[in-house]
Structure 1
Amino acid sequence: MRLAVTTFATDLTTPIPELAREVEARGFSGLYLPEHTHIPVSRRTPPAAGQQTLPEDYSRTLDPLVALSFAAAVTSRITLGTGILLAAQRDPIVTAKAIATLDHLSGGRVSLGVGFGWNVEEIENHGVPFADRRAVGREHVLAMRALWERDEAGFDGAHVAFEPSWSWPKPVGRVPIYLGGAAGPGLFAQIAEYADGWMPFGGKGVGKALPALAEACAERGRPIASVIPFGSYPDPGKLEYFASLGIEEVILHVPADRDVRATLDDYARYL
Structure 2
Amino acid sequence: MDLGAVYFFTDDGPNPIEFGQAAEGYGFESLFVPEHTHFPKSRDSAYPEAYGGGELPRFYLRTLDQTVTLSMIAATTDTIKLGTGVCLLAQHDPIAKAKEFATLDHLSGGRLIVGVGFGWNVEEAAANGLVWKNRFSTVRDKLKVMQALWTQEIASYDGVRASLAPSWAWPKTVQPNGPRTYLGGAGPTAMRCAAEWADAWYVVPPPDDPTLEKSIPRFRAMVDAAGRDPDTVGIAVASAPPDPALLDTYRELGVERAVLWIDPSDSPAQGMKNLESVGKVLSTLS
TM-score by length of 2: 0.89
Moved more, 156-165 or 125-134: 156-165
> Aligned-residue CA RMSD in angstroms?
1.6
Aligned counterpart, 1:181: 185
C-alpha displacement at 1:248, in angstroms?
A: 3.1
Q: Does 1:222 align with 2:234?
A: no
Aligned counterpart, 2:82: 80
SS of the counterpart of 1:229?
strand
Per-residue CA deviation, residues 225-268 of structure 1 (Å, 9 max, x unaligned), is: 21111112211211111121122321011111272333333223
Any unmatched runs of 5+ in structure 1?
none
Aligned counterpart, 1:168: 170
Moved more, 121-130 or 214-223: 214-223
Asked whether the 8 Å contact 2:27–2:282 carries over to 1, the reply is no
State which of 128, 136, 139 in structure 1 corresponds to 2:138.
136
Aligned counterpart, 2:219: 213
Aligned counterpart, 2:273: 262
CA–CA distance in 1 between the matches of 2:142 and 2:53? 31
Identity %: 39
Asked whether the 8 Å contact 1:3–1:28 carries over to 2, the reply is yes
C-alpha displacement at 1:82, in angstroms?
A: 1.0
Aligned counterpart, 2:31: 31
Q: Does 1:199 align with 2:202?
A: yes
CA–CA distance in 2 between the matches of 1:103 and 1:36? 21
CA–CA distance in 2 between the matches of 1:235 and 1:189? 28
Aligned counterpart, 2:245: 237
Aligned counterpart, 1:117: 119
SS of the counterpart of 1:12?
coil
CA–CA distance in 2 between the matches of 1:243 and 1:156? 38
C-alpha displacement at 1:210, in angstroms?
A: 1.7
TM-score by length of 1: 0.94
Letter of the 2:230 counterpart: P
Assess, with a 3 A threshold, how the Cα gap between structure 1 residues 57 and 156 changes in structure 2: closer, same or farther. same
C-alpha displacement at 1:183, in angstroms?
A: 4.3
Aligned counterpart, 2:91: 89
CA–CA distance in 1 between the matches of 2:205 and 2:216? 15
Asked whether the 8 Å contact 2:7–2:261 carries over to 1, the reply is yes
Aligned counterpart, 2:65: 63
The count of corresponding residues between Structure 1 and Structure 2 is: 270
C-alpha displacement at 1:107, in angstroms?
A: 0.2
Asked whether the 8 Å contact 1:183–1:209 carries over to 2, the reply is no
Letter of the 2:33 counterpart: L
